[in-house]
Structure 1
Amino acid sequence: MALILTFLGKSASGSSTVAIATAKKLAASGSRVLLVSQDSTPSFDTLLNIPAQSSPTEIEPNFELVNLKSSQLLSEIWTEFKDLEAKYLKLPTFKSIYEQELGILPGMDEALALNALRKYYQSGIYDVVIYDGGNTFRTLRMFSIPSVLNWYLERFRQIFAESDLGKTLVPFIQPLISTILNTSWTLDDIDKASNNNILHEGNATLKDSSRIAAYLITTEDKAAVAAAKYFWGGAYQVGLSVKGVIVNQSSGLPIDKHFDQLKLFSLPKKVEDNWQPLIEALPDFLDKSHTPLSIDIDVATGQIKIFLPGFEKNQVKLTQSVSELTVEAGDQRRKIYLPDPLVGKAVKSAKFQDNYLVVSL
């Protein structure tokens, strides 16, 4: 089973440098590594002295690099899309539209990147896939796509399926979703989600730090520290496991009070092309130890504690349905399924203190 690694931090905190050092470290230890970049700037070209290509290219033994180009990814998937349309619709409408004529819709970059990442992850070629998106907000949006899509499918499934448009498109949409997101779900599956835990299992995959894990990147700059803490909370909101904090260009000043639940790793400043000091200071990324829990549910007392570092009280909103809680914080919405003994119980109180939202049912 491959591991996906990503790094979350403020722009200019050095995530690309750390990603490259990580790839070098893991490749030298024998892991087959693919470093996936979605950075449109020439930062990787400069750091590696090698232009990043749109297909995986070997940089060193066991170390390959690829730069995702949205236009090319769209071109690849558009062919699959038109084939599906022709198969399931009597009068396909997109057959005369070519990918060169299409623009990239807002949010499509993340969806295309997620699909590419999935294919590399499942290819069996690599032991570790490192994703450096160049922008942490985009990275978090990318990892939130499955849960957001699930939310909309749950809410609007029945309305869509009963409409004339839905009856026409459902046979086409189901295999399309299967192609893009590698899932065999049908609309009936979503109806049964509360019984067979389909959505729960999807969230569990993202939370499994042996399969997908993130590390925060910061410098000792106060703004960078605050941003890393905010992204820590954002990662938890999309269900992404955070395993530690990497302080880039560290001078040894203490910042651990901000991240007291996480392991802290200090990296020296990179000098010219000497990567070894950084490599030696990096964590053991293959460590199987558990990550800190972001949710603690005590069924006996009916209390739920949700860890939301980096957010203020006025940024947090809580809503409830019969079997779930929805927590909105920052730009993310997180669904929390209630265990059976708590289903149907109303929220008695909710307070936000010391980075925790404490809910009593």
Structure 2
Amino acid sequence: MDATRSCPRPDPIPNPAAIAPLLLAWYDSHRRALPWRALPGEMADPYRVWLSEVMLQQTTVAAVRPRFEAWTARWPDFASLAAADEAEVMAAWAGLGYYARARNLVAAAKVVVAEHGGAFPQDEAVLRTLPGLGAYTAAAVAAIAFGRRAVVVDANVERVVARLFAIREPLPGARAAIRAAADRVTPDARAGDFAQAMMDLGSGICTPKKPTCLLCPLDEECRGYREGAPERLPVKAAKKAKPQRHGTIFWLQRGEEVLLVRRPDKGLLGGMRALPTGPWGDEPPGLAGAPVDAAWEMRNATVSHGFTHFDIELTLAVARVQAHHADDGLWWPIAALDRAGLPTLFAKAAAAVTRRDG
């Protein structure tokens, strides 16, 4: 029999005062080496902390690491990013998703340069006034970059805290209780290390499906572990079926070039280079919205993609022209499409066409 489950102890489980010392001791020995983290004893670079936190939203560390290194080699600080061509920034972001984040990076860098002398503000409330910095990002930057006490709750921290305190209310309703519990265990000193330790614990040990509780430095303090089946926490509300939309992607080729357009700044995939599309709706639109009058061939192939609020299936339409002036687009060499920074949806379509025609 597991003694930790059978022997009561007089102090409450968890004991909030015990959490930070246990977790920080574990972190000092097991912290992940990441390109945006300062080494022990060094000061974190606020620009790199901010950039990494924005990139990591809804994206894995493995996917972000090479993109972060390429980005910081090209735009190493606020001044260089503020002066960057937005189209090039959007192209560099391609594949990371949630493209408004890239536009907000440039906008925030411009504000930092113009209004804060090129230095990131340290106060959490002031950070939240910058474009794209919500509660989580502002708290993370304040804690990690500046050592301010801030309550940092991402998906990993949410999971750890829900299990520590056995918070069984389904998400998203449980988030207020989870944040309050996270506030109870966040220390005044080493708040940045504590936030990163919680992230590392959630990423490597307190994982969603098969937490390795026997390796966890907080197992003695975890109510979810002691009550059994911590993998059931946090409780998630049943997912609603997403609407299905349809559309057409147009591949217009002139010699060895293909027509690209820049999507409107506002809206889905705003500001990105893309293949032209017609309207997206509940039914396949056929050739509605074609960029030019041409002998379009509707291919017996579709490209599917999932967005946050809907799924889409797009049919491919292909045509060739001898000459055409692209008033609302640009002709891009097909052999160099990998440098156009196409969003994943359009990269899939380009691959489907070139694979068949190549």
TM-score (norm 1): 0.23
The structure with more strand, counted as a fraction of residues:
1
What TM-score does the superposition give when structure 2 sets the normalisation length? Answer: 0.23
Computing the radius of gyration from Cα coordinates, the structure with the larger value is 2
